[in-house]
């Protein structure tokens, strides 16, 4: 497979005003301004091959979103080179953006007061999608994501999960070669996350390259064979998810609230153990060297109706600190 993204020694820095507190200091700031330089992305090099599904993770303020904005052409790097699909994103935005899809979990590209189907029609015009291709893609996406009942609904009346599914369709109607996803499952319930993850797997299996930024390690574990970890603007790890999982997450805790009390003996599967049962709440411990939380959740959802599921796991910041502490040796 050929490289579809090539980033070499990319630096993005911002000049930020140093503000002092207090009335006197505010008056001084008005006449004399002191600035500091923030390196949001610091000398990052990266290559991604066609058809990969790569997760980009790190704590808040690590530089993940800045890197994605550079890759999508929204921001210009201070130095270094970026080439995506043989385009320089920030110089050739008009032609380049015809080949990519972008979804930001906390923003929408859907028109707020228009019915969803009208936005899709507008995107058909913007991207000059042939009528037959548009109908085929729309019908397939509507069926897989189960959004038929939302097509006549204005965006402002959709729930977050409903809107995210529609946003995904909008970003994929023109069959982009690369899709950039920034927190696409943020705030979603278990069922909505499951449906979106299955949809993204299918899209990737059909050859679309996907770059995902998220704080949800379940998304990473379920979707991304490879992760890139960013901290303080620097790339500190680039490799297989399995290597990180095996080294730092031997066990995870799963707390399930069922709609009714069940016989916990029916939960005796490979790699899990019941450690507590309180009425209709069951707490399991998962050995991640033998199974995954995602597989266990799928099995549970297929057998019983549930009220809530909570996965207790190390925060991503903790994983990063451990990687630093171990000298990046996660092999």
CATH number at residue 280: 3.30.70
Higher pLDDT, 319 or 219: 219
In percent, how much of the chain has pLDDT > 90?
43
Higher pLDDT, 33 or 121: 121
258 in any annotated domain:
yes
What is the pLDDT, as a whole number, of residue 194?
85
State whether 186 and 54 are in the same domain.
yes
- In sequence order, the β-bridge partners of residue 255 are 283, 310
What is the pLDDT, as a whole number, of residue 324?
58
265 in any annotated domain:
yes
321 in any annotated domain:
no
Is there a contact between 203 and 103 (Cβ–Cβ < 8 Å)?
no
Which pTM does this prediction carry?
0.75
How many domains are there within the chain?
2
State whether 228 and 278 are in the same domain.
no
What is the pLDDT, as a whole number, of residue 310?
82
Q: Is 121 helix (H, G, I), strand (E, B) or coil?
A: helix
What is the pLDDT, as a whole number, of residue 129?
95
Structure confidence by residue, pLDDT tens digits, 71-82: 999 999 999 999
Strands (E), 85-163: 100-104
Q: Domain boundary residue among 225, 246, 267? A: 246
238 in any annotated domain:
yes
Q: How sure is the predictor about 238, in pLDDT bands with cuts at 50, 70 and 90?
A: very high
The mean per-residue pLDDT over the stretch 277-300 comes to 82
Domain that holds residue 280: 250-312
Higher pLDDT, 197 or 189: 197
State whether 255 and 241 are in the same domain.
no
The mean per-residue pLDDT over the stretch 51-61 comes to 89
What is the pLDDT, as a whole number, of residue 139?
93
CA trace torsion 131, 136, 138, 144 (10° rounding):
180
Q: Is 232 helix (H, G, I), strand (E, B) or coil?
A: coil
What is the pLDDT, as a whole number, of residue 331?
45
Q: Which of 41-45, 173-177, 220-224, 276-280 has the lowest mean pLDDT?
A: 276-280
Quote the Cα angle for 326-244-103, to 5°.
Answer: 125
What is the pLDDT, as a whole number, of residue 27?
56
Residue 330 has pLDDT above 50, yes or no: no
116-143: string of b/e by CB count within 10 Å (b at 16+)?
bbbbbbebbeeeebeeeebeebbeebbe
**Strands 281-287 and 251-258, sheet pairing:** antiparallel
Q: Domain boundary residue among 246, 277, 298? A: 246
Q: How sure is the predictor about 315, in pLDDT bands with cuts at 50, 70 and 90?
A: low
Residue 192 has pLDDT above 90, yes or no: no
State whether 266 and 150 are in the same domain.
no
What is the pLDDT, as a whole number, of residue 313?
64
Q: Which of 10-24, 31-45, 167-181, 214-228 has the lowest mean pLDDT?
A: 10-24
In terms of average pLDDT, the best of 210-214, 285-289, 299-303, 309-313 is 210-214
State whether 96 and 152 are in the same domain.
yes
What is the pLDDT, as a whole number, of residue 322?
67
């Amino acid at each position: 497979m050929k490289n579809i993204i090539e980033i070499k020694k990319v630096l993005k820095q911002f000049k930020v005003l140093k503000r002092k507190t207090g009335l006197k200091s505010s008056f001084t700031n008005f006449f004399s301004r002191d600035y500091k330089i923030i390196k949001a992305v610091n000398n990052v090099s990266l290559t991604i091959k066609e058809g990969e599904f790569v997760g980009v993770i790190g704590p808040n303020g690590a530089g993940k979103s800045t890197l994605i904005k550079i890759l999508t052409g929204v921001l210009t790097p201070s130095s270094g080179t970026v080439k995506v699909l043989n385009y320089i994103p920030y110089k050739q935005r008009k032609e380049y953006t015809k080949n990519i899809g972008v979804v930001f979990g906390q923003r929408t590209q859907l028109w707020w007061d228009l019915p969803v189907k009208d936005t899709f029609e507008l995107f058909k015009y913007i991207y000059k999608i042939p009528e037959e291709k548009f109908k085929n893609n729309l019908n397939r996406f509507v069926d897989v994501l189960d959004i038929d009942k939302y097509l006549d609904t204005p965006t402002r009346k959709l729930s977050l999960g409903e809107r995210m599914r529609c946003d995904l369709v909008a970003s994929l109607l023109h069959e982009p070669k690369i899709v950039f996803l920034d927190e696409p499952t943020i705030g979603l319930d278990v069922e909505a996350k499951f449906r979106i993850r299955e949809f993204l797997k299918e899209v990737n299996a059909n050859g679309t390259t996907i770059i995902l930024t998220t704080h949800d390690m379940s998304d990473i574990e379920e979707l991304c064979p490879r992760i890139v970890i960013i901290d303080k603007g620097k790339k500190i790890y680039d490799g297989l998810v399995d290597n990180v999982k095996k080294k730092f997450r031997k066990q995870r805790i799963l707390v399930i609230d069922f709609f009714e009390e069940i016989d916990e003996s029916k939960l005796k599967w490979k790699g899990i153990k019941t450690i507590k049962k309180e009425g209709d709440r069951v707490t399991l411990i998962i050995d991640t060297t033998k199974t995954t939380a995602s597989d266990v959740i799928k099995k549970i959802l297929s057998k019983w109706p549930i009220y809530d599921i909570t996965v207790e796991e190390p925060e991503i910041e903790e994983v990063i600190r451990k990687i630093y502490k171990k000298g990046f040796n996660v092999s």
